[in-house]
Amino acid sequence: MIRVAIAGATGRTGSRVLELAHQAPDFEVVGALVARDDSRLGQPAFADDTGLTLEAGTNTAFDVLIDFSLPDGTVQWCQRAYESGAAFVSGTTGLSDEQRFLLHLAAERTPVVWAANFSIGINLLLRMVGPVARELGEDFDIEVVETHHNQKIDAPSGTALSLGQAMADATGRDFDSDVVYGRSGTPGPRPRRQIGIHAIRLADEVGRHEVHFAGSGETLVLQHAARSRDAFARGALTAARWAVRQKPGLYSMQDVITAR
């Protein structure tokens, strides 16, 4: 059995990780972690009332901590995993450079898996877009469009940024100078090497990413749509199973699916 603690346990994705881990035969949920100001603090973690409650911290030993909280929470939970020597798996986006640096520090002592998106499908898309962009060349314009629910805090999504980075790396573009976020005013003709990234926020949309390649007379669109958050939750559990067997280091979901 893998002893798992889950941070952000009442969030949109964290709550699904909590429930699916509870149902999985190879996981024992030993911690359901929330922020101190969470309205459900102290309540039962599960409907069948196993005795586990939603808490702001835990002293119970665990093998892996899965984090779907907010950036400040991620720093806290990463520190907790670092201190215990347990693996750390996080899908929190919107991290600052300093917060990302802390993940690197923790990875010197324990396995850390960070991914903007844990779905298997989106990670296969991340593998595809670089070679496609390179093959099509600069005669094809590239635009990334991401759609999420209207309560998402950061924009564009971490996944959209990862898609842009993958294509920039594959084609020798400079991410900082060649990527633009939306357009307004009179930006003028579109530069050949530009990658556009656009964020749409609609109701309860789970997550949709489209990469458009447009050349003279033709358009190629690669798209991934998550129909439920279970796609992210199951991927995070897959990453957790993998992480507990690894040496210290900073890993991505690409490392996880390569080893499947």
Q: What Cα–Cα distance (Å) separates residue 23 from each residue in 55, 104, 119?
A: 20, 32, 19
Among candidate residues 148, 198, 209, 224, the one labeled active-site is 148
Beta-bridge mates of residue 218: 215
Beta-bridge mates of residue 214: 141, 219
Type of residue found at 222: L
172 near 226, Cβ under 8 Å? no
Beta-bridge mates of residue 225: 208
Name the 3-class secondary structure at 225: strand
Residues near 8 by beta carbon (within 8 Å), at least 6 away in sequence? 14, 33, 34, 67, 68, 69, 70, 73, 92
Q: Pull the structure tokens for residue 195.
A: 């990658």
Among candidate residues 22, 104, 152, 209, the one labeled active-site is 152
Report, in this order, helix, strand and coil percent for the chain, each rounded to 5. Answer: 35, 25, 40
The yes-or-no answer on residue 148 being catalytic is yes
Which sign, positive or negative, has the C-alpha torsion 254, 255, 259, 260? Answer: negative
Catalytically active residues, by annotation? 148, 152
